[in-house]
């Protein structure tokens, strides 16, 4: 069976967790005919990616996406991506936007955290680190809690999965250079935290066709 992986440059310390999932069962037959719930003790390694885009906005309302971006060679390297900066400044110049305009060009970034089963050993040091995806179980993985109804967990429980959050503007055609640099530094500190925290969820309406 071909395995699924999550590629990411930043990983948090593995955390013990109790989860509910489902396994194939044949109950004495030569082939599986059903799935049965199973409670498992596992270690979950959360990994973090950072993505972003350059967009046109009216106030805080997104109007149109210019480009998308993501870390390419190291964690948070998109914060110093010259192509992204050039695209933002060029778009602002083309639209004649400055600090006095209500419409602005913004560079916004956000975090995407993924639960995994840990790092793949013996990965090449020249490649992006790989982590085993929860999808390798081929069934939902749901956090166990005291009093959970296992017979209804599959229908009512929320499967563990990616968490997109902490959408942050780090550059604006309405800001001064010092304001942009301060926003970028705050986001860097927030994203590179040692212990994972989740900020405000970023909804699809915020993303503009990511």
| pLDDT tens digits along 81-118 | 999 999 999 999 998 988 888 899 999 999 999 999 99
CA distance between the termini of the chain: 30
> Is residue 139 predicted with pLDDT exceeding 70?
yes
What mean pLDDT is reported for the chain? 89
Question: Global pTM?
Answer: 0.89
pLDDT band at residue 180 using 50, 70 and 90 as cut-offs: very high
Burial 23-61 (b: 16+ CB within 10 A, else e): eeeeeeeeeeeeeebeeeebebbbbbbbbbbbbbbeeee
> Is residue 206 predicted with pLDDT exceeding 80?
no
Specify the pLDDT at position 196.
Answer: 97
Q: Which residues lie closer than 8 Å to 102 by C-beta, 6 or more apart?
A: 58, 59
Task: Give the pLDDT confidence of 116-135 residue by residue, as tens digits.
Answer: 999 999 767 768 899 999 99
> Is residue 17 predicted with pLDDT exceeding 90?
yes
């Amino acid at each position: 069976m071909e395995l699924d992986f999550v590629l990411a440059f930043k990983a948090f310390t593995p955390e013990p967790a109790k989860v509910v999932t489902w396994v194939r069962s044949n109950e004495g037959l030569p082939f599986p005919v059903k799935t049965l719930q199973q409670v498992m003790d596992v270690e979950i390694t959360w990994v973090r990616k950072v993505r972003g885009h350059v967009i046109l906005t009216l106030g805080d309302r997104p109007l149109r996406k210019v480009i998308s971006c993501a870390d390419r060679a190291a964690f948070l390297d998109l914060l110093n991506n010259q192509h992204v900066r050039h695209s933002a400044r060029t778009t602002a110049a083309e639209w004649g936007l400055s600090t006095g305009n209500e419409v602005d060009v913004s560079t916004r970034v956000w975090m995407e955290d993924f639960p995994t089963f840990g790092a793949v050993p013996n990965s090449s040091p020249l490649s992006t680190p790989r982590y085993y995806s929860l999808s390798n179980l081929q069934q939902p993985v749901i956090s166990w809690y005291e009093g959970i109804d296992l017979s209804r967990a599959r229908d009512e429980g929320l499967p563990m999965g990616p968490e997109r959050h902490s959408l942050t503007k780090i550059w604006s055609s309405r800001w001064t250079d010092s304001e942009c640099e301060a926003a970028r530094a705050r986001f860097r500190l927030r994203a590179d935290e040692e212990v994972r925290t989740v900020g405000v969820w970023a909804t699809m309406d915020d993303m503009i066709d990511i």
